[in-house]
Structure 1
């Protein structure tokens, strides 16, 4: 299994190591480990594992104090500038090996198509600098760099993101 397999699995199945929408913080910790940054605010909780970021909200009334995931993202863009050992949770590194700092959309698209799904441009969530693609029968959205120089400085970072790089895979 490779990092590309991981990204395709998240996009098709909407889960990370068997955990996805509706799971509580304990389930995510069991899947990704205890090394993370919790950022509470406004009654919500954002749990940041570096590559993976999870959002939790309080459960239904009657289940006081319990939270469940209402969305998460695999933030591939972080790998380009933060290559510290903790950016990729160790359970993912052990299972999928090395995570490259750049993922071309064409490669991810081919991996998803090989799993029997289709991908289409989501025109409602596409902007001038970021394309958004929807995966069939999935809650996943794939964000892809459309303009590596969105502010028009004329000097995009040659080591930075390039047109066609996957920015993130988000599940909501």
Structure 2
């Protein structure tokens, strides 16, 4: 398995990015993924965008806590510098397209299954829940009509969620 696929498999099956996930604080993310991010805070919610990695926080009792993490894999086809330096150093170069079949094989090799999740609002995409986790893969079944460089059966995103 290539190093970037290893990153996706670890993230999907462990529910964390470099050991960070549910309940983590914004101050814990910067030492791990660096200071190159954009924060968008509104009404008790904050989204921290690192390019490939997006972290969402909810404000509870005066403190921001991580609620969800997502990997915006589709961005790799559009821009060159979306992978945080720490991830490039640890996993090497990231491919611009992640074939669903390759990631599914890595997830199966790690001992996890995939279950298709129906969602009629996701035209052109199929969602798969990873067994024993809250992770959901979104796969582009037909190339999106945006004229972009995406392929059918590419992984579009990976969402990690936890019940609060």
TM-score by length of 1: 0.87
Instruction: Give the CA deviation at 1:149.
Output: 4.1
1:128–1:147 CA contact under 8 A, matched in 2? no
1:125–1:131 CA contact under 8 A, matched in 2? no
Q: What's the counterpart of residue 2 of structure 1? A: 3
Q: Secondary structure at 1:112's aligned position in 2? A: helix
Q: Secondary structure at 1:98's aligned position in 2? A: coil
1:16-53 CA distance string (max 9 Å, x none): 00001111101111221111111111221110000000
Unmatched runs of 5 consecutive residues or more in structure 1: 151-155
1:33–1:89 CA contact under 8 A, matched in 2? yes
Q: CA RMSD in A?
A: 1.6
2:75 equivalent among 70, 73, 78: 78
How far, CA to CA, are the matches of 2:144 and 2:56 in structure 1?
29
1:120–1:135 CA contact under 8 A, matched in 2? yes
Unmatched runs of 5 consecutive residues or more in structure 2: none
1:67 aligns with 2:64: yes
1:169 aligns with 2:158: yes
Q: Secondary structure at 1:20's aligned position in 2? A: coil
TM-score by length of 2: 0.92
Q: What's the counterpart of residue 110 of structure 2? A: 115
Q: What's the counterpart of residue 45 of structure 1? A: 46
Q: Give the length in aligned residue pairs.
A: 160
Greater Rg over alpha carbons, structure: 1
Instruction: Give the CA deviation at 1:127.
Output: 2.8
Instruction: Give the CA deviation at 1:169.
Output: 0.6
